[in-house]
A and B are shown apart, each in its own frame.
Chain A
Amino acid sequence: MHLRDRLARFDINGAPYVFIAPFFVLFGIFGLFPLGYTLWVSLHDWSLLGGNEGWVGFANYTELVGDEYFWNSLLNTFAIFVIATVPQILAALALAQVLNTSLRALTFWRIGVIIPTATSIAAVGIIFTMMFSRDFGIINWLIGLVGVEPIAWNQERLPSWLAIATMVDWRWTGYNALILLAALQAVPKELYESARLDGASALRQFRSITIPMLRPTLMFVVTVATIGGIQLFTEPLLFNPGANAITGGDTRQFQTSAMYVVEQAFTGQRFGYAATVAWILFAIIVVVSLVNSLLVRRIRSVD
């Protein structure tokens, strides 16, 4: 076989792999390898300066079970996740419905709802932290107008959860509304038309057509929100500015698990233990996502 034929053959058979290789190689090195290696590190006593100081098996994991700071961070993470995500998905659904009508200045409204997503997390954290400040924050002033006493938002547990959930929702609701809107527009109009002819109410149409048709997209949105929510880090970090930001308040009232990973790794210099927390978080994300997918798949049209 001549070289030329070989080259031509390689061009047909080999080129596609050459084209997709950079993605997989780079993702493998900087995405997948670190995540997988986290498990290996978690089985060792591994410090920032000393490096690998030996195999300890599951010692880190048994320590984790008795670590109240870890459980505290997990409680905070889940509480904020639920408080943020449930209203966010419902609001995004409602907003998508509203945007799916014949609007004037369509693009203007769409850009309007997405502006928060363009704002950086750090900016959101800083702006909202100021809005929620106890003495001069605009939120306390506003609730004061209707006679509510000022709230020390970052001192107490529930208020701090609410404040952080507000930041998350402000940034993401519009974005998710757009994704759901794209899915709404893909629903064949004939379905609604024939439903109308059959005399189905708007609510009935929503329940029997819209929700089932949106199921895959809803699942995508919920999964992404889960992955993001369980890794929540920046908003709570900036909610307590100062030297001890990483502890999430004086009594760790809003320290999330991602913050705890960072605290153990960089403040405590315990890479092995930090990796253990990270790996458990990863396992939780997988489990919660599977549960989500089961729940979303349970949504059936009511015939």
Chain B
Amino acid sequence: MTTPLIPVDRILPVLDEPEPVRRRRRRALGKASPLTYLVLTFVILASVAPLYYMVVMASRPNSDITSTPPPLTPGDQLGENATRVFANPDVMFAQSLLNSLMVSLVATITVVTLSSLAGFAFAKLRFRGKNVFLLAVIGTMMVPVQLGLVPLYMLMGWLGLAGSLWSAVLPFLVTGFGVFFMRQYVSQAIPDELIEAARVDGASTLRIFAQVVFPAMRPAVAVLGLLTFMERWNDFMWPYLTLSPENPTVQVALSRLSGGYYTDQALVMAGTLLATVPLVLVFILFGRRIVGGIMEGGLKG
């Protein structure tokens, strides 16, 4: 275990059971002035401008893209450009979407399941060394695992998985963030009485988890699932290094597209749009939950 980079005395308050949250409308700190809305509007514009630019470029022919002044409104070529992306034999775009889906799904399922198990244990069970283990979990969030890429690559070779989709998934089957996030949720949202009642009825720990606790964790499962899926869908560095050329994820396919066809900007942008849109849609649909998840998941020392 490396030294936790967050001083322990800052974390220790975290080790106390979190207070159950009483949902009530926050009393605001101050009135929002028109200036506030102006600043926020500017921030939102800056947030979406590059994505808007992507849409403009993806829907134009290359002749427009290389004209001056640059086009500022979307054109009508999106369909053609998208068709060219899928038809490009080097990029294997359709296959890469499927690969990304599989990698993201597998990691999401294992992260949610194993995090729920461990989070429940940390929140509701008593065992020796609990705080030390919990600090270790928090410490793992601070470990730059990417830097182990050389032995990780060797390890995949030893396991006979070099280049396969499995090699892209294995390092992400668990996350410290997931365990910590689930622990916070279970501590706050699931009353001890519920568990004690099940114990009195003679249920085993696993049964309590499966039949009492896990069903009550649905909101947290949804949020952690969303965050994990997004993170895996967007992974770049490790898949780029480990996957064989015939097995790209969509992000790796994109980098190949931009590397090989950077003179064909309409093609590259259409591919980028296709890879981004599903996620932005998910985000707009479930944004409220994701925002809540991020705000709950930040370490509150």
A interface residues, Cβ below 8 angstroms from B: 11-13, 15-17, 19-20, 22-24, 26-27, 29-38, 41, 95, 98-104, 107, 109-116, 118-131, 135-138, 141, 170, 174-175, 178-179, 181-183, 185-186, 189, 192, 215-217, 219-220, 223, 227, 230-231, 233-234, 237-238, 241-243, 245, 258, 261-262, 265-266, 271, 274-275, 278-279, 281-282, 285-286, 289-290, 293, 297
Q: When the two chains form their complex, are residues A107 and B288 in contact, meaning their CB atoms are under 8 A apart?
A: yes
Q: A34-B145, A107-B288, A179-B295 are in contact. Are A27 and B153 (CB under 8 A)?
A: no
Q: When the two chains form their complex, are residues B69 and A141 in contact, meaning their CB atoms are under 8 A apart?
A: yes
Q: Which residues of A contact B47 (CB under 8 A)?
A: 112-113, 115-116, 170, 174
Could you give 11 example pairs across A and B, Cβ below 8 Å?
A: A34-B149, A38-B147, A38-B148, A110-B291, A113-B47, A122-B251, A175-B294, A178-B294, A182-B300, A231-B144, A281-B147
Q: State which of B73-81, B188-196, B217-225, B269-277 sits at the interface with chain A.
A: B269-277
Chain A residue nearest to B124 in the complex (CB): A16
Contact partner, B150, options A121, A185, A261, Cβ 8 Å: A261
Q: How far is the CB of B140 from chain A (nearest CB, A)?
A: 6
Q: Which residues of A contact B140 (CB under 8 A)?
A: 27, 31-32
* B283 in the interface (beta carbon within 8 A): yes
The residue in A16, A186, A261 that gathers the most chain B C-beta atoms within 10 A of its C-beta is A16
Q: When the two chains form their complex, are residues A278 and B280 in contact, meaning their CB atoms are under 8 A apart?
A: no
Q: A19-B118, A258-B146 are in contact. Are A112 and B294 (CB under 8 A)?
A: no
Complex: A123 Cα to B275 Cα, angstroms: 8
Q: A37-B148, A265-B153 are in contact. Are A30 and B173 (CB under 8 A)?
A: yes
Q: Which residues of B contact A233 (CB under 8 A)?
A: 146, 236-237
Q: A113-B43, A243-B259 are in contact. Are A34 and B31 (CB under 8 A)?
A: no
Q: When the two chains form their complex, are residues A120 and B29 in contact, meaning their CB atoms are under 8 A apart?
A: no
Q: How many residues of B contact A (CB 8 A)?
A: 109
Complex: A12 Cα to B128 Cα, angstroms: 12
For the A-B complex with A30-B145, A216-B6, A233-B237 known, give 8 more contacts whose Cβ atoms are closer than 8 Å: A16-B121, A23-B118, A31-B171, A34-B150, A119-B280, A121-B234, A122-B252, A141-B70
Complex: A13 Cα to B268 Cα, angstroms: 57
Contact partner, A103, options B36, B67, B204, Cβ 8 Å: B36
* B97 in the interface (beta carbon within 8 A): no
Say what secondary structure dominates the interface of chain B.
Answer: helix
Q: When the two chains form their complex, are residues B296 and A182 in contact, meaning their CB atoms are under 8 A apart?
A: yes
Complex: A118 Cα to B227 Cα, angstroms: 9
Q: How far is the CB of B82 from chain A (nearest CB, A)?
A: 15
* B114 in the interface (beta carbon within 8 A): yes
The number of residue pairs between A and B whose CB atoms lie closer than 8 Å in the complex comes to: 324
* B106 in the interface (beta carbon within 8 A): no
* B22 in the interface (beta carbon within 8 A): no
Chain B residue nearest to A265 in the complex (CB): B150
Binary contact track B94-131/A, C-beta < 8 Å → 1, others 0: 00000000000000000000110110111001110010
* B301 in the interface (beta carbon within 8 A): yes
10 residue pairs, one from A and one from B, having the closest CB atoms: A216-B301, A34-B148, A102-B28, A111-B287, A120-B234, A179-B298, A35-B148, A16-B127, A19-B121, A182-B295
* B216 in the interface (beta carbon within 8 A): no
Complex: A178 Cα to B150 Cα, angstroms: 34
Q: A114-B294, A178-B294 are in contact. Are A98 and B268 (CB under 8 A)?
A: no
Q: A129-B258, A289-B5 are in contact. Are A216 and B10 (CB under 8 A)?
A: yes
Q: A16-B126, A122-B254, A265-B153 are in contact. Are A131 and B31 (CB under 8 A)?
A: no
Chain B residue nearest to A186 in the complex (CB): B300
Complex: A29 Cα to B158 Cα, angstroms: 13
Complex: A175 Cα to B240 Cα, angstroms: 25
Complex: A231 Cα to B236 Cα, angstroms: 13
A-facing residues in B22-53 (Cβ within 8 Å): 26-32, 36-37, 39-40, 43-44, 46-48, 50-51, 53
* B3 in the interface (beta carbon within 8 A): yes
* B135 in the interface (beta carbon within 8 A): no
* B87 in the interface (beta carbon within 8 A): no
Q: How far is the CB of B58 from chain A (nearest CB, A)?
A: 10
Q: Which residues of B contact A220 (CB under 8 A)?
A: 6, 298-299, 301
Q: Which residues of B contact A118 (CB under 8 A)?
A: 230, 234, 279-280, 282-283, 290
Q: A13-B127, A130-B265 are in contact. Are A101 and B54 (CB under 8 A)?
A: no
Q: Which residues of A contact B51 (CB under 8 A)?
A: 115, 119, 127
Q: When the two chains form their complex, are residues B295 and A26 in contact, meaning their CB atoms are under 8 A apart?
A: no
Complex: A135 Cα to B69 Cα, angstroms: 11
Q: Which residues of A contact B179 (CB under 8 A)?
A: 20, 23
* B66 in the interface (beta carbon within 8 A): yes
* B15 in the interface (beta carbon within 8 A): no
